[in-house]
Amino acid sequence: MITKYKIFERVNQGEPEGGDYVICKDTTEPEINIFSRKNIGKIIQIEPDLYPFEYLVKYDSVPYDLKDKIKNKTRHFSRIEILNWSKNKRDLEQVFKTDKYRL
């Protein structure tokens, strides 16, 4: 069981970087907030010129009803909106499991 807790040592290390997997919240659109909190995205680009929404996050799939708000499966997020990040997608999947079972 100790190895399960080691996973959390790799989550939220340093600052998010390009290529990191992320769980985000959206402070502007409630529908996107629900989607982004339940799905793992990947930072594909950091654009300092677009501060505070400098992190461009891409999702594998987007529901049809959100395609007009999340164009090309990407959305800009600010640093405050990034809840969790890791180099490894499995680490964030473990975060979902612990939240689900309240561990």
Encode 1-27: b = buried (16+ Cβ within 10 Å), e = exposed: eeeeeebeeebeeeebeeebbbbbebe
Q: Would you state the pLDDT for residue 96?
A: 86
Q: Would you state the pLDDT for residue 1?
A: 47
From first to last of its 103 residues, the chain has per-residue pLDDT tens of 444 555 456 788 899 999 999 999 999 999 999 999 999 999 999 999 999 999 999 999 999 999 999 999 999 999 999 999 999 999 999 988 887 676 5
Q: Would you state the pLDDT for residue 19?
A: 97
Q: Would you state the pLDDT for residue 98?
A: 82
Specify whether the CB–CB gap between 44 and 96 falls below 8 A: no
Q: Would you state the pLDDT for residue 76?
A: 96
Number of domains in the chain: 1
Q: Which range of residues forms the domain containing residue 77?
A: 2-101
On average, the pLDDT of the chain sits at 89
- Helix, strand and coil in the chain, % to nearest 5: 40, 20, 35
